[in-house]
Structure 1
Amino acid sequence: MRSRPAVFESDLTRERVTTDAGTFDAIATGPVTGRKVLLLHGVPECGIEWRHQLRALAAHGYRAVAPDLRGYSPGVRPREVSAYRLEHAVQDVRDIADALGWKRFDLVGHDWGAIVAWIAAARYPLRIRTLTAVSAPHPGALAQTLRTDPDQQRRWAFLDHLRTPGVAERELLADDAAQLRAGWPAVIPQERVNQYVRKLSEPGALTAALNWYRANDFTGTFRPVSVPTRFLWGEDDQVIGPEAAQNTGDWVTGPYWFEVLSGAGHFVPEEAAEETTLHLLDHLATY
């Protein structure tokens, strides 16, 4: 069920998408009769990180929706850490598509949104036409490198401080969220960073965002993806190393394209907005 859309910017609208888990805030654009594209944001951003891609999709006739994921939408912000396990976020993808009335759609994800998208594409190949994953590798490839690759272990250990309840929140929000603000590269405009910080400063929002790290350890069993897939990874990514990125192809049985973006770090949709958009449009047009 969707509430009546409200104008967000001149070409974007705010919508609320109601599911059994609660009501998700979302940004939508493009003709309602267009081919459907669902875009999942990463941590610690929200749906507006796809602003550039949303506008381009609409200009090419697609109907694009970017929800604020669980924890980021106030209407889906459970307190329990276990509520942020990937299985719940993957179910959210299906539930959001159902609420939108979408029988088949293309799926795009960045960072944790990409992890969710990998699993959803493997689980729902009859509903998801294509997958475009950005920055985060297939979780099976990530799990393997977390066991065997010292470089990836070092990169992931850097995030351990985020898993300490209460302490991480206080440190990140202290001094007008100085540590939190420092996490975004300088290429992202300060206005956008302020928008993210305001979102994460809502009651319970930062804890919910960090619970994505606290609830998931990548020790489960993961399926390969059979739908046409394009994976974009920034060569300067400080979170995901080259081995996990390169090994992702072992987890795709369908058509696959892996692209390394030079000069880009982990926040690819914004650091390399134009390049990301061109790859996304090309991938959709191909399939």
Structure 2
Amino acid sequence: MVGPQVTLEKIPQLDTTNSSVDIDLIGIAKNNNETKSAAVAFMSYKKMDNLLKPEFFSTSNDTVKTMMSTVISATLPKTTNTKLTKPVNFTFKHIREFDPNGSLSCVYWNISEWIVDGCSVLETNSNYTVCSCNHLSTFALIMQTNRQKEFGPVELCPLSSSVGSPSVPAHTAVPERHTASSGENDEGALQLSTASLRIIITVSHGLQVLCAVISGLLHFLFLSGFVWMFTEAVMLFICVKNLSRISSKKREVLSSGFLCVTGYVVALVVVCVSVGLVPEGYGSER
């Protein structure tokens, strides 16, 4: 607080544990014609970021937001004319590890969100940041960093295709292994390998326009692969059930036409029904 008889030429820096403020309190006092006095209150809140979270800082880009300082407040109590004569500078000590690739923003709390209007970064390094604001309020320092890329099933696609693709020629190259279930095994491996390769091609070339079509195709290929696995399991069961009549059972129970209907048409019907009921379920921004 300063009064009309102040002899100081400059107000010393006001400090808290992790922040400080430089304010022209003498100039503010001179603008109060009646009292020629002014007072400033500077406060720091240790746990306020648990309530005023950095996620309340709305930005156009999707980034990870981190509170880099304690939340502080500055006000001019018992001061008639609170108009600032100069911008107020706040120095924030970083309370979390600084990312050199991050973007720092000096923000203040406006009713229900953090905004940057009237505040800017003057200087920064790995330990502290100086912010300049043309008004007083509740302030903080928020850092924005890019989100880490999310890796999902695509990581496994090269492995699944490298394992699945050679299985078809390997099966064909061994004449002794042609059994009742060999065709189903080949078809299942072919569908899964094709689906895995389709994912790789899609990711590599970024076919965003065809995302929905690619999603439907992947649904069909994977589902068809699983249906062929189920068909192979049924054939193996028939082999074990009646080893002496494998061929006749295959002709009587599971003909080639029936196998194609089971392996492809069933999967196609499921996909068509899914598209009809939930068309927006195929494809996304990613």
- TM-score, with length taken from structure 2: 0.21
- TM-score, with length taken from structure 1: 0.21
Which protein has the larger Cα radius of gyration, Structure 1 or Structure 2? 2
